Amino acid sequence: MENPGNNRVLWAQILLVLAPSYVVFGYNQAGLGGLVDFPSWVQKFPETDTIHTTGARKSHNSTVQGAVVASYTIGALFGSLACTWIGNRLGRRRTIFLGACVCFVGQTLECTAYSLAHLVVGRVVLGFGVGVLSATVPVWISECCPPEKRGRNVVLVGMFIALGFATSQWVNFGFYHIENRAASWRGALTIPFLFIFIIMLTVFSLPESPRWLVLTHRSDSARFALATLRGKDVDSPDIIAEVSDIELALEEHGNLKLKDIFTMTEEKLFYRFMLCVMLQFFQQMTGGTLISVYTSIIFQDNLNLGASTSKILAACALTWKFLSCFVSFWTIDRLGRRLALMISGGGMAACMVAMAVSTYFSATSHAASIAMAFFVFLYNFFLPVGFLGANFLYTTEVAPSRLRVAMQAISTANQWLWMFVVAMITPVAIADIGWRYYIVYAVVGTLVVPSIYLFYPETMGRDLEELDEIFREGESIFDVVRMSKTLPRRRSVASRLAGEVEGKVHVEEIS
């Protein structure tokens, strides 16, 4: 029977740290894109005005607008990379607290901006803090969860990103009707403060990662943290055995360094690193940021809808995305990581093809405009199935303990890099090449299914230490994939040790 103490701690981690972290992530990623057509915004920052300009001036302002929105992702890129140095030094909780403090400073700068330079500095600082959170929180959650709950708990990342997206669009729609007052966009930008405060006030009341504690030679503290997480006594055979399992896995890895990521020894670190990097590349270049950040602009520019109608449609589309995340929550530990990612990638590619075709005909056909809007909604169903949470989960599962933060940080930074590219070029691309822009994402999306099938091993239901064994014992990349699908789950060292301890206790009782 499941211990209720276990559930309480896990849900506290999810609701008090994971949820607010990724609501801040999603809200700030999507929020500014919906503010740039506010009359009060255009009045304060005329350099980004694409509403009342035409020709070369509009093209120039589109570039500036894209740069301002994308500056957030540059900060996030460097914030993620910073975790390769600070992640294992500070620990998971202190790194998360630092990220939240930086978010607070950046959000304050953004809300009080009175010049474009001031705004960009705020966006970069805010992005840095979000980058730290995005590289650390999934690692912390995955290292604390038992294997049977790891998938559904970490995949909640996508659900809360989507909640941030949807919240930002509804807030923007509401504040849009505060006419010609700076309070409209400034008020919209204050909402994330609530979530930042929650992280800062609660993170130290929750357990540290037991794997990080073992890594820093604090096994006694690791047993205490693990006992709190599992809802068991600190001297329980299961707790002692699981900590012993973690210690043994770390000993087998030896003293891995960051530079070892680029080697192909028996640990296959470079292969594992490329799995992480390419997965985050796919997440962006199948259209995730395009649809999340610029939905209202797509409806307004491609379908010639009014500003108010575009905003409410965008809010509905992103609310639908949030609701679709419940599908991923239900399927990720049933279908497995591979099938979820393939369904998601293939579905998004098909939607992008359909969006390109319907946008091409939308200028002359009202039915095509309706079809375009439908495929935006359908895309928002397929994205969360695999690429709005499972991508963060998978990268924490295939990375070894000593390099888990580093691999997660670099792969997340790679995601932010492509997010910057998409955010930067989208306003210009939509204005200049229209329907052809969606073909780029369709092409990348078609590569997802064969790539996942051929190169990505299944990780569902296995201990993190057991996955290390599969990578180590597989003679080749294809052998690793085969073993992950066909090899029965073996009893981990922890399970064997627990059985031995319990057997000894039973013999002593009989004696």
Residue 345 resides in a domain: yes
CA distance 115 to 348: 38
CA distance 301 to 305: 7
Q: Which residues of 256-274 are buried (b: 16+ CB within 10 A; e: fewer)?
A: beeebbeeeeebbbebbbb
Helix, strand, coil fractions of the chain, as percent rounded to 5 = 80, 0, 20
pLDDT of res. 492: 46
Domain extent, residue 155, equals 7-206+256-473
Residue 66 resides in a domain: yes
**CA terminus-to-terminus distance, the chain:** 29
Residue 230 resides in a domain: no
Give the dihedral of Cα atoms 325, 329, 335, 387; nearest 10 deg.
Answer: 40
Residue 59 resides in a domain: yes
Structural domains counted in the chain: 1
Q: What is the CATH number of the domain that holds 47?
A: 1.20.1250.20
Residue 226 resides in a domain: no
pLDDT of res. 67: 83
pLDDT tens, residue order, the chain (511 aa): 445 446 788 889 999 999 999 999 989 887 776 777 788 888 888 888 777 777 788 778 878 887 888 889 899 999 999 998 898 899 999 999 999 999 999 999 999 988 899 999 999 999 999 999 999 998 899 888 887 777 777 778 888 988 988 888 888 888 877 766 778 888 889 999 999 999 999 999 999 999 899 988 898 999 999 999 888 888 888 888 888 888 887 776 666 777 888 888 788 899 999 999 999 999 889 988 788 777 777 777 666 677 677 778 888 888 898 888 888 878 888 888 899 999 999 999 999 999 899 888 877 777 888 888 889 899 999 998 888 878 888 888 898 877 888 888 999 899 889 988 887 787 778 777 878 889 999 999 999 999 999 999 999 888 877 888 889 888 889 999 999 888 776 554 444 444 444 444 444 444 4
Residue 494 resides in a domain: no
Give the dihedral of Cα atoms 165, 171, 174, 180; nearest 10 deg.
Answer: -110
pLDDT of res. 344: 94
Nearest CA among 61, 57, 55 for reference residue 36:
61
**CA distances for 453 relative to 279, 343, 480, 482, 484, angstroms:** 13, 11, 12, 10, 12
Residue 225 resides in a domain: no
Residue 443 resides in a domain: yes
